[in-house]
Amino acid sequence: MTDFAKSWQLSRGRLRAEVQDMNKAQLDYRIHANSLSAGQAVIHVVGVELYFVAQLIGATLDEKQARVAKAATEGVVNDNPFPFSDEEITPELVKWALDEGERFAGPHIENPSPEFLAGELKSALGPMITGDGALARLGFHSGYHQGQIYLCKTAPDFPV
């Protein structure tokens, strides 16, 4: 297992633990009007995983995966609407997304081939990066959003 995978598994596990018992109102909560909800943050994290890995392995995503992959950028790094409405982001969708990211991206993160590491892809922020660079980003990405969700959960008006 690579150091990238160790970081990814740790931060990804913490993200999953942070949201696993959240109800619909909690997943929908926004600390302010321009922030992602906890549910959107999870879909975004998985979207980046699918977006990066699909590019590096030349995979075509199915319709649901492709919609999640749009959350890598849509409504996050641009002004387009987020690909899922608040009504669609349920505890079941969040769990499915986390499971799907682990199923689809996990094997490539945990045991990347030399071709994967040397491959090039367009990052969610736009620059071209290598597979090695993608793994460096994925190693901390879920931890970044887990921290945001934790802050939301400590807000005085967070739903119980």
The three-point CA angle 78-19-102 to 5° equals 75
CATH 1.20.120.450 fits 3-153, yes or no: yes
Confidence label for 126 from pLDDT (cuts 50, 70 and 90): confident
- Max Cα-Cα span within the chain: 48
Average pLDDT across the chain, whole number = 96
Over 80: is that where the pLDDT of 98 sits?
A: yes
Cα dihedral 35→38→39→42 (10° resolution): 100
pLDDT digits (tens, 9 = 90+) for 38-56: 999 999 999 999 999 999 9
- Tell me, what's the pLDDT at 1? 76
For residue 129, how many other CB atoms are within 10 A of its CB?
Answer: 19
Sequence ranges of the domains in the chain: 3-153
* Beta-ladder partners of 128: 122
pLDDT above 70 coverage of the chain, percent: 100
Q: Tokens for 77?
A: 């790094």
